[in-house]
Amino acid sequence: MNNPVFQGWHKTLLPDSATVEDAIVSLNQTSAQIVIVVDGAGRLVGTVTDGDVRRGLLRGLGVSSPLESIVFRSPLVVPPEMRQDSVVQLMKTNKVHQIPVVDDAGCVVGLHLWDEIVSPSNRSNVMVIMAGGLGTRLHPHTERCPKPLLPVAGRPMLELIIERARDNGFVHFILAIHYLGEMIEAYFGNGERWNVQIEYLRENSPLGTAGALGLLSPIPELPMVVTNGDVLTDIHYGELLDFHLRNRAAATMAVRLHEWQHPFGVVQTNGVEIVGFEEKPVYRSHVNAGVYVLDPFVLQYLDKDVRCDMPALFESVRAAGERAIVYPMHEPWLDVGRPGDYDKANQVYK
């Protein structure tokens, strides 16, 4: 699922043969404040809320009455692929706090709760942030300061990344450090100031955008989110993780659509013959956004203390016959790698 869903949504399901009493018990046992009624094949029949139960009792129904007598049969539903921002907008527009997720076959596959979206539950997954680069392209800014600590609108960009991920429910971070890493460690410490847990991977030499993961010990039990420490984005890290899980991937790479317009008119030829013209065509391609999700077993393709970049790791995953996929993102994104990018970041975040 590429949106945060209520983890206990299965407990809200009742068969269409259930009674009003069954609905009351279900409503009391979950925090969802809704019952989702399904047929024998798991297809959505309708929903029941506490208000529906109360109105039914007021008009003379008993607890042993069939649930179908109070089912609302035209609830608002969304498909699994709908993104969080669209779900939030639907909830606001229709003033609802619950929306079932229904697939193409009409089967219930999840449930969105307003409280879960606006205040997501803490996730047990680790987030690893690559913060050990030399930052040579940003000289002189990085001569005495590691790039992830460079201030953006008055605060270190790494702090912005951690706080956004924390707001997505991530509370356990591992920072891979090398160049001036002691400054990063001194600033963030154990993360207590941000109400998170922070640990460190200390590279003896630069290990690239993936190599530091080979130092993880113990290896996480759950899929991990990995991001470069110089990528500022409004991506929902939780959505990315859910997308990875829903697609049963071994490795997921967030990608951005990049457009480039040719400055000249292009002449199309076949040998010496002119077969067409295209005036300043626009080329589109997906580029690596520097944010990933990896299943723990993927780390077997890394050698300890050996440099490796993420594209090479993804190639190893593909070569092994495992599933490597992309997560197309549309959110604002900025790779702060050059002075112009750094200036832009300060303007945007100001």
Dihedral sign, CA of 86, 226, 224, 164? negative
Tokens coding 244:
């990875």
The answer, yes or no, to whether residue 295 has pLDDT greater than 50, is yes
Q: Which residue carries 């690596």 as its tokens?
A: 288
Q: pLDDT at position 73, please? A: 93
Rounded distance between C-alpha atoms, residue 80 and residue 97, angstroms: 17
In sequence order, the 6+-apart residues with CB closer than 8 A to the CB of 13 are 35, 36, 37, 38, 108
Q: pLDDT at position 258, please? A: 78
The answer, yes or no, to whether residue 285 has pLDDT greater than 90, is no
Confidence of residue 310 (pLDDT cuts 50, 70, 90): very high
Mean pLDDT of 188-202: 96
Rounded distance between C-alpha atoms, residue 7 and residue 113, angstroms: 10
Percent of residues, the chain, with pLDDT higher than 90: 56
Confidence of residue 50 (pLDDT cuts 50, 70, 90): confident
Q: pLDDT at position 6, please? A: 67
Confidence of residue 117 (pLDDT cuts 50, 70, 90): confident
CA end-to-end span of the chain: 33
Domains of the chain listed by start with CATH number: 9-118 (3.10.580.10), 127-349 (3.90.550.10)
Mean pLDDT of 228-236: 91
Q: pLDDT at position 1, please? A: 39
Q: pLDDT at position 5, please? A: 59
Q: Which residue carries 């089912």 as its tokens?
A: 71
Task: Tell me: cis bond preceding 332? Omega within 30 of 0 counts.
Answer: no
Percent of residues, the chain, with pLDDT higher than 70: 97
Q: pLDDT at position 263, please? A: 87
- List the single range of 17-26, 73-82, 83-92 with lowest mean pLDDT: 83-92
Confidence of residue 77 (pLDDT cuts 50, 70, 90): very high
| Secondary structure (3-state) at 94 | helix
Confidence of residue 2 (pLDDT cuts 50, 70, 90): very low
Q: pLDDT at position 54, please? A: 78
Tell me how many helices (H) and strands (E) the chain has.
9, 18
The answer, yes or no, to whether residue 330 has pLDDT greater than 80, is no
Rounded distance between C-alpha atoms, residue 247 and residue 245, angstroms: 5
What's the gap between Cα 267 and its chain centre? Answer: 42
Confidence of residue 4 (pLDDT cuts 50, 70, 90): low
Mean pLDDT of 116-125: 80
